[in-house]
Amino acid sequence: MAVLLTLSPRGEVREARLALGAVGPVPFRARGVEAELPGRIPRDSAFEEAGLQASRLAQPISDVRASAEYRRELVKVLTHRALRRCLENGKEAP
């Protein structure tokens, strides 16, 4: 997973980019999620919703390493974590 999060001067999401790999036939951008985040205040509820949307876009397979359901759950959790990490890393140190 790769995530880019850009905030406006007012603190709202200006731009979001999410790329997912290993949960579909080819790596892909979660454009539906990207379209929903701009204009929102970056908080956990928005990131949880983004994770749920991303998990719905994923098309993972089940194999000996993990089930499709488990991989979808990982997409949900890791999307939320990655967005939070972007927000935390973007803040200036005191």
DSSP 56: H
Mean pLDDT of the chain: 94
Provide, rounded to the nearest whole percent, the portion of the chain with pLDDT above 90: 91
pLDDT value of position 84: 95
pLDDT at 92 over 60: no
Task: Check if the beta carbon of residue 20 is closer than 8 Å to that of residue 32.
Answer: no
SS3 66: coil
> Tokens in use for 89?
């890393």
Buried b (16+ CB within 10 A) or exposed e, 19-51: ebeebeeeeeebeebbebbeeeebeeebbebbb
Task: Check if the beta carbon of residue 48 is closer than 8 Å to that of residue 77.
Answer: no
Q: How confident is the model at residue 51 (pLDDT cuts 50, 70, 90)?
A: very high
Q: Which domains does the chain have, with CATH numbers?
A: 2-90 (3.30.390.50)
Q: How confident is the model at residue 55 (pLDDT cuts 50, 70, 90)?
A: very high
